[in-house]
Amino acid sequence: MEETPLYDRAADLGPRGTELRHLLDEFAVEHRDEPLAAAAIPAIITLARWLREELKPAPSRLETLQPVLPNGPLCEYLRTVARRRLEEPGYPGEHYLAGGVLFQADGPNHFRPAEPIMRQLGEQMKPPAEIRVSRRQQYSSTMRAIRLASRLIHAARKRGIWLPPNLPNLYAIFISTAYALAYDAALFNALSPKAVVVLATPNAGPRALVTAARSAGIPSVYFPHAPVLMDKTFNDLPTDFAGLRGPAEFHYYKEVGASCDRIEVVGDPSIDSEEMPDHDPSLPPVLAPPIEADAVMRKVVETVEAGVGDSLLVCPHPEADLKKLQALIPSGWTIWSDRTYALLRRGPPVIMQFTSGVALEALMLGIPTIELRFPADRIITYPQIREPHVRIVSTPAELRAAIKQSYRDVKKPSARRQLRDWALRWSSPHGQEAARQGAALVLRAAEGPPPGAIWDAWSGRA
Task: Kindly state whether residue 215 falls inside one of the protein's structural domains.
Answer: yes
**Beta partners for residue 269, in sequence order:** none
Q: Taking all residues of the chain, what is their mean pLDDT, rounded to a whole number? A: 84
- Mean pLDDT along residues 273-282: 87
- In terms of domains, do 251 and 292 share one? no
Q: Report, as an integer, the average pLDDT of 78-92.
A: 51
Tell me how many domains the chain contains: 2
| Residue range 49-73: mean pLDDT, rounded | 47
pLDDT winner (highest mean) among 55-59, 187-191, 292-296: 187-191
Q: What is the pLDDT of residue 79?
A: 59
Same domain, 212 and 342: no
Check whether residue 420 and residue 439 sit in a common domain. no
Does residue 127 have a pLDDT over 70? yes
> Looking at the structure, do residues 226 and 294 belong to the same domain, yes or no?
no
Which pLDDT does position 87 carry in this prediction?
52
Pick the more confident residue, 122 or 235: 122
The predicted pLDDT at position 266 comes to 97
**Same domain as 201, residue 63:** yes
The residue that leads in pLDDT, 419 or 60, is 419
List of residues 6+ apart from 173 with CB closer than 8 A: 40, 43, 44, 47, 149, 204
Domain that holds residue 350: 286-426
Is residue 453 in a domain? no
**390 within a domain of the structure (yes/no):** yes
pLDDT band (50, 70, 90) for residue 64? very low
Q: Is there a single domain that holds both residue 440 and residue 406?
A: no
Both 15 and 145 in one domain: the answer is: yes
Q: What is the pLDDT of residues 308-357, one digit of tens each?
A: 877 899 998 877 788 888 888 888 899 998 989 999 999 999 999 988 88
Query: What residues contact 319, with CB distance under 8 A and at least 6 apart?
Result: 107, 109, 291
Q: What is the mean pLDDT of residues 66-78?
A: 53
Residues 198-257 have pLDDT tens digits of: 999 888 889 999 999 999 999 999 999 999 888 767 788 999 999 999 999 999 888 877
Asked if residue 457 belongs to a domain, the reply is no
- Please answer whether residues 381 and 355 qualify as being in contact, where contact means their C-beta atoms are separated by less than 8 angstroms: yes
Phi-psi region of 160 (alpha: psi -120 to 50; beta: other; left: phi over 0): left
In this structure, the answer to whether residues 16 and 115 fall within a common structural domain is yes
Residues 193 and 308 occupy one common structural domain: no
Whether residue 260 is found in the same domain as residue 290: no
Q: Is residue 265 located within the same domain as residue 295?
A: no
Q: What is the pLDDT of residues 142-177, one digit of tens each?
A: 888 888 988 998 888 888 887 765 555 678 788 888
What's the chain look like in SS3?
CCCCCHHHCCCCCHHHHHHHHHHHHHHHHHCCCCHHHHHHHHHHHHHHHHCHHHCCCCCCCHHHCCCCCCCCHHHHHHHHHHHHHHCCCCCCCCEEEECCEEEECCCHHHHHHHHHHHHHHCCEECCCCCCCCCHHHHHHHHHHHHHHHHHHHHHHHHHCCCCCCCHHHHHHHHHHHHHHHHHHHHHHHHHCCCEEEECCCCCHHHHHHHHHHHHCCCCEEECCCCCCCCCCCCCCECCCEEEECCHHHHHHHHHCCCCHHHEEECCECCCCCCCCCCCCCCCCCEEECCCCCHHHHHHHHHHHHHHCCCCCEECCCCCCCHHHHHHHCCCCCEECCCCHHHHHCCCCCCEEECCCCHHHHHHHCCCCEEEECCCCCCCCCCCCCCCCCCEEECCHHHHHHHHHHHHHHCCCHHHHHHHHHHHHHHCCCEHHHHHHHHHHHHHHHCCCCCCCCCECCCCCCC
Predicted pLDDT at 54: 46
